[in-house]
Amino acid sequence: MHKRRKTLALAAAATSAVLVASGCSGEGGDDSGPAEVTWVINSLPGAWQSISLAGGSVYNVQMLSGTIPFTGQWNPEGEYEFNMDVLAEEPELLNDDPDEGPFEWQFTFNEDAVWSDGTPMSGEDLRVTWMMAATPGEEHCNGCDSRGGMSEDKIEEIETDGQTATVRLKEGLADPEWESTFDAHSTSGGFLPAHLAEENGWDIDDPDELGEYYEWLHSTMPEWSGGPFQIVEGDLENEVIKEPNPEWWGDEPGLDRITMQFNDDEGTFYNAFVNGEIDGGSPADYNEDVFTQLEDVDNAVTDIGEGETWEHIDFNMGVEEFDDVELRRAIFTAIDRDDIANRNFGAGYPEYELKNNHMFASDNEYFVDHYEGETQGTGDIEEAQNILEEAGYELEGDQLTLDGEDIGPFRLRSTDTDVRNTSVQLIQNQLAEIGITANIEMTDDLGAMTSEADYDIIQYGWSGSPWFATNPEQYWHSGSGSNYGNYENEEVDELTEEVTNATDLDDAADLANQAMEVLVPDAYVMPIMAEPNYFFANDRLENVHDNLNSSYRATYNIGEWTLAGQ
């Protein structure tokens, strides 16, 4: 992972970038006023929870930071840490050999861990989260539309005994990343309260009533919390405001109030920061102009590095013309990945690398170059034309046709960011060279666009973590709710199922690479690169630094944020 830092504070184990608090007078650490911060999130969240297709975005995850409890997470240094505020002890693997009985492990909650109404956290919280995050085919929840579910679907049962939960997989199944089930990187971003369902009259073991609870969680602002902060007011269109959770049992939060502002107009970030209207952000999207401007601000701490979010271009397989793999291959061949990457990132992040493996970065031990010798992504117009000609397509003037019928136009869609605006315009021009019209349509609601497959060709990003074993099945399995373009390939289905069921990470990685060997020639999804993520913060707030290994980004340790001198 490449990184360039303007300012570093302390050693790696305590890398603390310092930030200013908005609304504080004096030097920050005095008693002149409340410790308040305004943090910008660069798009709208789609729902009040992140299990659903509509809510499954980094914007939603960051909005909820500090309120959703989780069992563990990857830290900025790439080390996995269990959350010992929530847990009484590190989770225990009870059986790791599915041939000797069910693969199972156990979580035990800290006896001090409570929800914001004082109710103790319990194994039932994990059980209800599991049932809502599983796919509809498991029939735990009617109306639940989980964006993940692959790990959850392997679970046979969660046996609860007060603050202990034993997770037991179905016969013969295993999980190489069993620790991740309810961590910060899971489908729910942690786990959710079971007792609120009962208080509202819903029986979590009744699929219809659990579906009603699920809908309530996603449509209602959570006044409850299991973390150091709780949301006290806000909406999904403008901002949310967080204040300390009075029932939080861990170290006292260092801030009195955090406003999380939703603003997809990245061009306003610089002036808002200089004017003291915002105190920082860790945007999910790169904007070269904004980043280079912020680098030159005296009181700004900035950071940039290759993150876990990777940009890619997908087809909607529900479009009849895309039944033809040769058309898909030709379109991907006409698209020039390096031109897209260089135009967007070359000046601000010249260290960029094209992503030639959907799962693993080039410095990862499991990396295999799946695009070596491939024409996809090269921008080779002549080769793209050859593919089309051999498949029977013809150019009539500037229009590509097949058997006298026009091909396209196609709707080329993305969220309205600086990077993606540049990218889709380049793609539009590249496809015009092979006789295909791509009409650009932007949106500010990624969740709705993807969950409804409201596109023909799309560019967006997958945000992940160092965990990888569930990703192939989530992205490409025909039964996955996150396989938005409805790609179907029996061999890929089988291989991705084997990835999630491997007994160790080495086997899982090998199987993931085998799945990519099939996927790449099928030309359903083409990675561009792992997008550089930038972070900026005012230098008078401490313990705020980026975490490129998490969708939570800089908010991963929000309970530790504080003013300098406190």
Give me the amino acid identity at 158: I
For 143, the token pair is 């109306």
> Helix-strand-coil percent breakdown of the chain, rounded to 5?
30, 25, 50
Alpha helices in 33-87 (DSSP H): 58-63
Q: 35: which residues sit within 8 A by CB, 6+ positions away?
A: 21, 24, 28, 254, 255, 256, 257, 562, 563, 566
Q: Are 261 and 59 in contact (CB under 8 A)?
A: no
For 500, the token pair is 């999630």
**532 — phi, psi (to 5°)?**
-65, 135
Q: How far apart are CA 60 and CA 359, in angstroms?
A: 23
Q: Are 231 and 225 in contact (CB under 8 A)?
A: yes
Place of tokens 């225990």: 92
pLDDT digits 0-9 by tens, 211-223 = 999 999 999 999 9
Q: How far apart are CA 440 and CA 411, in angstroms?
A: 6
pLDDT at 151: 84
For 90, the token pair is 């590190």
What SS3 class is residue 191? Answer: coil
Q: Is the pLDDT of residue 1 over 70?
A: no
Q: How far apart are CA 429 and CA 381, in angstroms?
A: 11
**37 — phi, psi (to 5°)?**
-135, 140
pLDDT digits 0-9 by tens, 304-315 = 988 888 999 999
Query: Mean pLDDT in the chain?
Result: 91
Share of the chain above pLDDT 90, in %: 79
- Strand ranges in 373-420 using DSSP code E only, listed in sequence order: 393-396, 399-402, 405-406, 410-415
Domains in the chain and their CATH numbers?
3-49+225-306+533-563 (3.40.190.10), 68-212 (3.90.76.10), 307-531 (3.10.105.10)
For 449, the token pair is 């666009």
Split at pLDDT 50, 70, 90, the class of 377 is very high
When mean pLDDT is compared across 29-33, 171-175, 457-461, the lowest value belongs to 29-33
pLDDT at 316: 98
pLDDT at 119: 98
What SS3 class is residue 290? Answer: helix
Number of Cβ within 10 Å of residue 306's Cβ equals 24
The residues with which 303 forms a beta bridge, in sequence order, are 5, 535
For 190, the token pair is 């942690």
Work out the burial of residue 526: count CB atoms within 10 Å of its CB; fewer than 13 is exposed, 13-18 middle, 19 or more buried. Answer: buried
Q: How far apart are CA 554 and CA 2, in angstroms?
A: 17
**105 — phi, psi (to 5°)?**
-150, 175
Q: Is the pLDDT of residue 67 over 70?
A: yes
- Residue 169's alpha-carbon distances to 67, 156, 175, in angstroms, are 28, 5, 8
Give me the amino acid identity at 263: N
What SS3 class is residue 116? Answer: coil
Q: 23: which residues sit within 8 A by CB, 6+ positions away?
A: 33, 34, 36, 38, 257
Number of Cβ within 10 Å of residue 392's Cβ equals 11
For 321, the token pair is 């013309």
Q: 198: which residues sit within 8 A by CB, 6+ positions away?
A: 204
Query: Stretch 285-300: mean pLDDT, rounded?
Result: 91
pLDDT at 10: 23
Q: Are 123 and 158 in contact (CB under 8 A)?
A: yes
Q: How far apart are CA 258 and CA 36, in angstroms?
A: 6
Helix (H) or strand (E) holding 36: strand 36-41
When mean pLDDT is compared across 13-27, 72-86, 391-405, the lowest value belongs to 13-27
Q: Report which of 488, 457, 528, 461 is spatially closest to residue 496, judged by C-alpha positions.
A: 488
Split at pLDDT 50, 70, 90, the class of 16 is very low
Q: Is the pLDDT of residue 179 over 70?
A: yes
Split at pLDDT 50, 70, 90, the class of 347 is confident
Share of the chain above pLDDT 70, in %: 94
Q: Is the pLDDT of residue 21 over 70?
A: no
Place of tokens 């019928």: 405
pLDDT digits 0-9 by tens, 378-433 = 999 999 999 999 999 999 999 999 999 999 999 999 998 888 999 999 999 999 99
Q: Is the peptide bond before 409 cis (omega within 30 degrees of 0)?
A: yes
pLDDT digits 0-9 by tens, 539-566 = 988 999 999 999 999 999 999 999 887 6
Q: Report the DSSP pairing between strands 280-281 and 36-41.
A: parallel
Split at pLDDT 50, 70, 90, the class of 32 is low
Q: How far apart are CA 253 and CA 366, in angstroms?
A: 39
What SS3 class is residue 529? Answer: strand
For 427, the token pair is 């793609």
> Which of residues 155 and 28 earns the better pLDDT score?
155
pTM score > 0.85 for this model? no
